[in-house]
Structure 1
Amino acid sequence: MYIRIGSKALAFILCFLFVWVALTGAEKVLIPNIVNISRDSTDAIIIVDKSRQMLYVVKSYLSNPIVPADTFRVTTGKVNGNKEKEGDNRTPEGIYKIVGDIPGSQLPPRYGPLAYVLDYPNFVDRLMGRTGSNIWIHGRNEEITDFQTKGCISLHNHSILELRPYIKVNRTRVIIQDTIKNVTQRDYEIAKLRWKTYLANWKKSWEIGDTSTYFQFYSEKFTTKTYPSLRSFKESKKALERRYPWKSIDISQILVLETKYESEISFQQEYICPEFYSIGFKTLRLIPEKGLFLIVNEDFARTKTRTYIKDAIKNFLREWISSWESRDISKYISFYDSTFSSRGMNLEKWYSYKKELFDKSGKIDIEIEKIQIKSTKKLVWEVSFLQKYSSSIYKDYGRKILQLKNKPGHFKIASEKWERIR
Structure 2
Amino acid sequence: MKTLRTLLLLAGLALTPALALAAGTGWVTHVNSQPSGPEFFLGIDKETQTFFMFGKRSPLTVLRKLVCATGQAEGDKQKEGDKRTPEGVYFVEEKVPGKLDFALYGDRAFSLNFPNPVDRLKGKTGHGIWIHGRGKQLLAQDTRGCVALSAQDIKSLDGQIPSGTPVVIAKKLTWSKDQGSDATAQHLSERVRQWAGDWQNKRERFFDYFQPEKFAQTEGVSFTQFKNHKLGIFARQPWIHVMVDNVRAIQGPDYWVTTFDQYYRTQDLISAVGKRFYWQKEKDGAWRIVGGEYVDAPTAALETRYLRSKQPEVDSLLKGWLESWLAADIDKYMAYYDEDANNGRQHGAKAIREYKQALWTSKTPVRIAADKVEVAIHKQGLKVSFEQIYEDSSGHADRGAKTLVIAPRGDGWVIVSEAWGKS
1:337 counterpart residue number = 318
> How far is 1:96 from its partner?
2.6
Q: Tell me, in whole angstroms, the C-alpha distance in 1 between the residues paired with 2:366 and 2:246.
A: 38
In the alignment, structure 1 residue 93 sits paired with structure 2 residue 87: yes
> How far is 1:233 from its partner?
1.5
> How far is 1:70 from its partner?
0.6
2:189 counterpart residue number = 196
What's the secondary structure of 1:254's corresponding residue? strand
- The structure-2 alpha-carbon separation of the partners of 1:116 and 1:267, relative to structure 1 and needing over 3 Å to count, comes to closer
Q: Tell me, in whole angstroms, the C-alpha distance in 2 between the residues paired with 1:288 and 1:390.
A: 59
Alignment deviations for residues 369-393 of structure 1 (CA, whole Å, 9 cap, x no partner): xx998653223124157x8x999xx
Aligned pairs (5 A) from 1:47-58: 47-58=43-54
2:289 counterpart residue number = 295
Q: Tell me, in whole angstroms, the C-alpha distance in 1 between the residues paired with 2:63 and 2:261.
A: 25
1:228 counterpart residue number = 221
Q: Tell me, in whole angstroms, the C-alpha distance in 2 between the residues paired with 1:184 and 1:191.
A: 20
What's the secondary structure of 1:188's corresponding residue? coil
> How far is 1:159 from its partner?
1.8
What's the secondary structure of 1:120's corresponding residue? coil
Q: Tell me, in whole angstroms, the C-alpha distance in 1 between the residues paired with 2:398 and 2:257.
A: 61
Q: What amino acid maps onto 1:162 in structure 2?
A: S
Q: Which has the higher contact order (CA 8 A, sep 6+)?
A: 2
What's the secondary structure of 1:130's corresponding residue? coil
Relative to the length of structure 1, the TM-score reads: 0.62
1:23 counterpart residue number = none
Q: Tell me, in whole angstroms, the C-alpha distance in 1 between the residues paired with 2:421 and 2:151.
A: 78
Q: Tell me, in whole angstroms, the C-alpha distance in 2 between the residues paired with 1:35 and 1:241.
A: 40
Q: Tell me, in whole angstroms, the C-alpha distance in 2 between the residues paired with 1:338 and 1:365.
A: 17
In the alignment, structure 1 residue 121 sits paired with structure 2 residue 139: no
- The structure-2 alpha-carbon separation of the partners of 1:301 and 1:218, relative to structure 1 and needing over 3 Å to count, comes to farther
In the alignment, structure 1 residue 381 sits paired with structure 2 residue 414: yes
> How far is 1:36 from its partner?
6.0
Q: Tell me, in whole angstroms, the C-alpha distance in 1 between the residues paired with 2:203 and 2:44.
A: 40
Q: Tell me, in whole angstroms, the C-alpha distance in 1 between the residues paired with 2:32 and 2:74.
A: 23
Relative to the length of structure 2, the TM-score reads: 0.62
Q: Tell me, in whole angstroms, the C-alpha distance in 1 between the residues paired with 2:301 and 2:220.
A: 20
- The structure-2 alpha-carbon separation of the partners of 1:87 and 1:302, relative to structure 1 and needing over 3 Å to count, comes to closer
Q: Does the CA-based 8 Å contact 2:193-2:244 persist in structure 1? A: no
> How far is 1:221 from its partner?
2.1
What's the secondary structure of 1:85's corresponding residue? coil
- The structure-2 alpha-carbon separation of the partners of 1:271 and 1:134, relative to structure 1 and needing over 3 Å to count, comes to closer
Alignment deviations for residues 254-293 of structure 1 (CA, whole Å, 9 cap, x no partner): 1222211543212233445566665543332334554654
Q: Share of identical aligned residues, percent?
A: 24
Q: What amino acid maps onto 1:53 in structure 2?
A: Q
> How far is 1:91 from its partner?
0.3
- The structure-2 alpha-carbon separation of the partners of 1:117 and 1:154, relative to structure 1 and needing over 3 Å to count, comes to same
What's the secondary structure of 1:125's corresponding residue? helix
Q: Tell me, in whole angstroms, the C-alpha distance in 2 between the residues paired with 1:181 and 1:52.
A: 11
Q: Tell me, in whole angstroms, the C-alpha distance in 2 between the residues paired with 1:159 and 1:254.
A: 32
Q: 2:262 aligns with which of 269, 272, 276?
A: 269
Aligned pairs (5 A) from 1:23-422: 31-32=15-16, 37=35, 42=39, 44-60=40-56, 64=58, 66-101=60-95, 106-168=100-162, 170-182=163-175, 188-212=181-205, 214-223=207-216, 228-244=221-237, 247-272=240-265, 278-290=271-283, 292-298=286-292, 299=294, 301=296, 303-304=298-299, 337-339=318-320, 340=322, 341-342=324-325, 344-345=327-328, 349-351=367-369, 354-356=389-391, 375-384=408-417
Q: What amino acid maps onto 1:46 in structure 2?
A: L
2:353 counterpart residue number = none
Q: Does the CA-based 8 Å contact 1:35-1:192 persist in structure 2? A: no
Q: Does the CA-based 8 Å contact 2:406-2:413 persist in structure 1? A: no
What's the secondary structure of 1:221's corresponding residue? helix
Alignment deviations for residues 313-349 of structure 1 (CA, whole Å, 9 cap, x no partner): xxxxxxxxxxxxxxxxxxxxx9982232216259982
> How far is 1:171 from its partner?
3.2
- The structure-2 alpha-carbon separation of the partners of 1:122 and 1:34, relative to structure 1 and needing over 3 Å to count, comes to farther
Alignment deviations for residues 134-154 of structure 1 (CA, whole Å, 9 cap, x no partner): 222223345544322221112
Q: Tell me, in whole angstroms, the C-alpha distance in 1 between the residues paired with 2:137 and 2:185.
A: 41
- The structure-2 alpha-carbon separation of the partners of 1:292 and 1:376, relative to structure 1 and needing over 3 Å to count, comes to closer
What's the secondary structure of 1:132's corresponding residue? coil
> How far is 1:213 from its partner?
5.7
- The structure-2 alpha-carbon separation of the partners of 1:123 and 1:191, relative to structure 1 and needing over 3 Å to count, comes to closer
> How far is 1:47 from its partner?
1.3
- The structure-2 alpha-carbon separation of the partners of 1:116 and 1:300, relative to structure 1 and needing over 3 Å to count, comes to closer
Q: How many residues align?
A: 330
Q: Does the CA-based 8 Å contact 2:326-2:367 persist in structure 1? A: no
Q: Tell me, in whole angstroms, the C-alpha distance in 2 between the residues paired with 1:120 and 1:375.
A: 41
Alignment deviations for residues 3-30 of structure 1 (CA, whole Å, 9 cap, x no partner): xxxxxxxxxxxxxxxxxxxxxxxxx997
- The structure-2 alpha-carbon separation of the partners of 1:101 and 1:304, relative to structure 1 and needing over 3 Å to count, comes to closer
Q: Tell me, in whole angstroms, the C-alpha distance in 1 between the residues paired with 2:32 and 2:88.
A: 13
Q: Tell me, in whole angstroms, the C-alpha distance in 2 between the residues paired with 1:250 and 1:365.
A: 30
Q: Does the CA-based 8 Å contact 1:31-1:182 persist in structure 2? A: no
Q: Does the CA-based 8 Å contact 1:102-1:116 persist in structure 2? A: yes
What's the secondary structure of 2:75's corresponding residue? coil
Q: Does the CA-based 8 Å contact 2:117-2:218 persist in structure 1? A: no
Q: Does the CA-based 8 Å contact 2:134-2:151 persist in structure 1? A: yes
Which deviates the most, 85-94 or 175-184?
Answer: 175-184
Alignment deviations for residues 62-95 of structure 1 (CA, whole Å, 9 cap, x no partner): xx47332111111211222211111111101233
> How far is 1:99 from its partner?
3.3
Q: Does the CA-based 8 Å contact 1:60-1:67 persist in structure 2? A: yes
Q: Tell me, in whole angstroms, the C-alpha distance in 2 between the residues paired with 1:372 and 1:155.
A: 57
Q: Does the CA-based 8 Å contact 2:196-2:242 persist in structure 1? A: yes
